[in-house]
Amino acid sequence: MAKESVEDRLIGLADVVVEAAKKKKDPEFQIPVRALSNVAFNEKRRIIEMKNATTGRSFFNLGMAKKFMQTMLVADALAELQRADCTTSLREIYYRTKHTLKESSENTFDDQSESDPVIEDLEVTLEALREELHVSAEGRGSIVGNITLVDNGDPIDCTRAGKAGHTVPSIVEDPGFTIKKCNADFVLLIEKSTQFNRLSEDKFWKKHNCILLTGNGQPPRGVRRLCRRIHDEWKKPVHVLVDNDPWGYYIYSVVKQGSINLAFESQRMAIPDAKFIGLSSFDPEKHKMPRNLGIKLKDNDITRAKELLAYPWFQKKEWQKEIKHMLASGLKYELDALANKDFRYLTTDYLPKKLKDKDFLD
Amino acid sequence: MGGTSPAKKEAIPELQKVKEVPVHRVSAEDMAKKQREISVSEFFAKNRHLLGFDSPRKALLTAVKEAVDNSLDACEEARILPEIEVRIEVAGGLKALETPKAEAKTEPGKPADPPKGPSVAQAERFIVTVTDNGPGIVPEQIGRIFAKLLYGSKFHRLRMSRGQQGIGISAAGLYGQLTTGKPVRVTSRFNEKKPARYVEITIDTAKNEPRVLANREATDWTAAHTGTRVAIELEGRYQKGRTSVDEFLEQTSVANPHAKIIYVNPEGQNTVFERMVAELPAAPREIKPHPYGIELGVLMKMLQDTKSHWVGGFLSSDFSRVSPATAVEICKKAGIDPKMLVRKIHGDTAEKLYKAIQHTPLMNPPTDCLSPIGEKAILAGLYKQIKGDFYTAVSRKPAVYRGNPFAIEVGLAFGTGQAGMVESVMAQEDAVPLAEGEEDEREGEVQMARVMRFANRVPLLYQPGACAITKSVIETSWRNYGLSQSRGALPTGPLVIFVHMASVWVPFTSESKEAVADYDEIRKEIRLAMNEAGRRLSAFVRKRERAALELKRRDVFEAYIEEVADACKRLKKGKLDSEDLKKRLSKIAKDITGGDKTDEILKKKGQEEEPAGESTIIITPEGAQGAVPQAPGAEAAHQAAPTAAEVAKEDQGAAQAAENKRSKAEKKEKGHGKGKR
Q: What is the ipTM of this complex?
A: 0.80
Separation of alpha carbons A153 and A143, rounded Å: 18
Contact yes or no for B592 and A22 at CB 8 A: no
Q: Report yes or no: B1 at the A interface, CB cutoff 8 Å.
A: no
The amino acid occupying position A316 is K
* pLDDT above 70 (res B242): yes
- B-proximal residues of A, 221-280, CB under 8 Å: none
* pLDDT above 70 (res B154): no
* pLDDT above 80 (res B299): yes
Contact indicator for A289, A335 with CB cutoff of 8 Å: no
* pLDDT above 70 (res B155): no
Closest Cα in chain A to B435 = A110
Phi, psi of A314, deg, nearest 5: -115, 25
Contact yes or no for A111 and B436 at CB 8 A: yes
User: Of these residues, A94, A95, A249, A333, which one is catalytic?
Assistant: A95
First to last CA, chain A: 37
Contact yes or no for A73 and B567 at CB 8 A: yes
B494 Cα to chain A: minimum distance (Å)? 24
A42 Cα to chain B: minimum distance (Å)? 38
Which of A115-129, A149-163, B304-318 has the weakest average pLDDT?
B304-318
Contact yes or no for A21 and B585 at CB 8 A: yes
Q: Which residues of B touch A66 (CB under 8 A)?
A: 556, 560
More confident residue, A306 or A106: A306
pLDDT of B103 reads 45
Residues with Cβ within 8 Å of residue B44, at least 6 apart in sequence: B50, B51, B149, B167, B171, B174
Strand partners, B400: B405
pLDDT of B611 reads 52
pTM over 0.80: no
Separation of alpha carbons B155 and B159, rounded Å: 9
Contact indicator for B239, B59 with CB cutoff of 8 Å: no
| CB-side neighbour CA atoms (13 Å) of B131 | 15
Chain B interface test: which of A13, A26, A29, A59 (most B C-beta within 10 Å): A59
What's the mean pLDDT in B120-139?
A: 90
Of the spans A9-13, B281-285, B592-596, which averages the highest pLDDT? A9-13
More confident residue, B503 or B544: B503
List, in sequence order, the alpha helices (H) in chain A.
6-22, 65-84, 90-97, 112-125, 193-201, 204-207, 221-234, 246-257, 266-269, 283-286, 299-310, 317-329, 345, 351-357
What's the mean pLDDT in B575-585?
A: 91
Tens-place pLDDT, residues A22-73: 999 999 999 999 888 899 999 999 999 988 899 999 998 878 899 999 999 9
What is the percent of chain A with per-residue pLDDT over 70, rounded to a whole number?
99
- B-proximal residues of A, 7-26, CB under 8 Å: 10-11, 13-14, 17-18, 21-22, 24-26
* pLDDT above 60 (res A216): yes
The chain-wide mean pLDDT, for chain A, equals 92
Q: Which residues of B touch A100 (CB under 8 A)?
A: 431, 433-434
Q: Considering only the beta carbons, identify the residue of B564, B571, B584 that sits closest to A11.
A: B571
The chain-wide mean pLDDT, for chain B, equals 78
Tens-place pLDDT, residues A166-197: 999 888 988 889 999 999 999 999 999 999 99
3-class SS of residue B126: strand
* pLDDT above 80 (res B135): yes
* pLDDT above 50 (res B283): yes
H or E element, residue B141: helix B139-147
* pLDDT above 70 (res A238): yes
Contact yes or no for A101 and B571 at CB 8 A: no
pLDDT of B388 reads 85
* pLDDT above 60 (res B608): no
pLDDT of B673 reads 39
Residues with Cβ within 8 Å of residue A80, at least 6 apart in sequence: A96, B570
A15 Cα to chain B: minimum distance (Å)? 8
* pLDDT above 70 (res B277): yes
Closest Cα in chain B to A100 = B433
More confident residue, B15 or B247: B247
* pLDDT above 50 (res B420): no
* pLDDT above 60 (res B4): no
A60 Cα to chain B: minimum distance (Å)? 7
What is the number of other CB atoms lying within 10 angstroms of the CB of residue B493?
Answer: 20
Residues with Cβ within 8 Å of residue A63, at least 6 apart in sequence: none
What's the mean pLDDT in B52-59?
A: 87
* pLDDT above 90 (res A321): yes
Q: Which residues of B touch A72 (CB under 8 A)?
A: 563-564, 567-568, 571
Which of A286-290, B112-116, B218-222, B405-409 has the weakest average pLDDT?
B112-116
* pLDDT above 60 (res B344): yes
pLDDT of B647 reads 39
| CA geometry: angle B321, B326, B328, nearest 5 deg | 140
What is the percent of chain B with per-residue pLDDT over 90, rounded to a whole number?
23
Catalytic residue status for A345: no
Q: Considering only the beta carbons, identify the residue of A26, A69, A107 that sits closest to B560.
A: A69
Q: Report yes or no: B586 at the A interface, CB cutoff 8 Å.
A: no
Of the spans A319-328, B407-416, B534-543, B628-637, which averages the highest pLDDT? A319-328
What is the percent of chain B with per-residue pLDDT over 70, rounded to a whole number?
75
How is B260-283 classified by DSSP, letter by letter? EEEEE-TT--EEEE-----SPPPP
3-state helix, strand, coil in chain A (%, to 5): 45, 20, 35
More confident residue, B551 or B399: B399
3-class SS of residue A244: strand
Q: Which residues of A touch B433 (CB under 8 A)?
A: 99-100, 105, 107
Q: Which residues of B touch A76 (CB under 8 A)?
A: 567, 570-571
Separation of alpha carbons B315 and B553, rounded Å: 71
If pLDDT is split at 50, 70 and 90, which confidence band does B648 have? very low
The amino acid occupying position B235 is E
Residues with Cβ within 8 Å of residue B584, at least 6 apart in sequence: A21, A22, A24
pLDDT of B630 reads 63
Which of B432-436, B588-592, B606-610 has the weakest average pLDDT?
B606-610
Contact yes or no for B571 and A14 at CB 8 A: yes
Closest Cα in chain B to A99 = B433
Contact yes or no for A110 and B436 at CB 8 A: yes
Q: Considering only the beta carbons, identify the residue of B556, B568, B592 that sits closest to A72.
A: B568
DSSP letter at A147? E
pLDDT of A8 reads 94
What's the mean pLDDT in B320-336?
A: 87
Chain A interface test: which of B441, B443, B568 (most A C-beta within 10 Å): B568
More confident residue, B94 or B601: B94
Q: Which residues of A touch B577 (CB under 8 A)?
A: none
